[in-house]
Structure 1
Amino acid sequence: MNIDFPYHFDRRGRTASTDDSDHVRDMIEQLLFTHPGERVNRPDFGSGLLQLVFSPNSPELAAALQFTLQAALQRWLGDVIDVGALEVTSQDSTLQVYLAYVIRATGEARTDTFARSLP
């Protein structure tokens, strides 16, 4: 059983659970949108992605961000997924990450889009 993210209760009043492929997606989302230093016992966990939302768009920033995210995914989830494609776009205050990956345990190929809007 995997606990669903974000934490909530199911219709029976119990902790909501999810299947393995959705749990992997949840782990990726947590990694992408966690600031380094936010977790007490793992201060280097996270990607720093949200810190760059308001930075001016440029090819150099896009390349640096892609490299940083690729490294974070490899470090923290390299034993769980194989990253195929990664693309980050920023428009106004919305950040969007397109990720194509394969779940190592099942061989299932997935593509997911992760988006976060800031106030």
Structure 2
Amino acid sequence: MSTNTPAYDASNFVGRGFAWPMEIDHTGAIAMSSGAEGLDDAIRVVLMTAPGERLMRPQFGCRIWDLVFEPITANLLGLIAQAVREALAQWEPRIEVEDVLPVQDDKDPGTVRIGVIYRVKATNDRRNLVYPFYVIPREEN
């Protein structure tokens, strides 16, 4: 066995994505994150971006922002889950979404906690992320 074998680097194996929060690196380019830990950042960037928000990439983002003024019902939770699945399937090829579980927060009627359970394709590592999505509740008369 050779002693000159380079150490295993999971960050190269998994890939790279935009760092969050967005910033500029020392070369003047957009900072990138790598490795499985950077996947959470990349997923948040997809979910936080409304389609049409980025001028040079108008299709990028998640359609949950079309639902921000809807009342929280079972139908809305289903639409949120579908929008998240579609966005992550299109914009984050390094993961396989296993489940999306949107649940209304018991303490805040305007918050939906979106649980995303995913698997890192390169390492088969199963991970989860909870993203808070804030809707604007209708006022009662």
Q: Same fold (TM over 0.5)?
A: yes
Q: Aligned residue for 2:6?
A: none
Contact conserved, 1:54 with 1:93, CA < 8 A, in 2?
no
Unaligned runs of 5+ in 2: 1-10, 25-29, 137-141
Q: Aligned residue for 2:77?
A: 62
* Cα distance between partner residues in 1 of 2:31 and 2:135: 27
Please, what is the CA RMSD of the aligned residues? 2.7
Secondary structure of the residue that 1:24 maps to in structure 2? helix
Contact conserved, 2:63 with 2:87, CA < 8 A, in 1?
no
Following superposition, which runs of at least 4 residues in structure 1 exceed 3 angstroms of deviation?
1-4, 15-19, 116-119
Unaligned runs of 5+ in 1: 10-14
1:1-119 matches, within 5 Å, as: 4-7=19-22, 18-77=33-92, 79-91=93-105, 92-117=109-134
Q: CA-to-partner distance for each residue in 1:19-51, whole Å, 9 max, x for gaps?
A: 511211111101111011001111011112234
AA of the residue aligned to 2:60: F
Q: Aligned residue for 2:139?
A: none
* Cα distance between partner residues in 2 of 1:47 and 1:16: 22
TM-score (norm 1): 0.77
Identity of aligned residues (%): 26
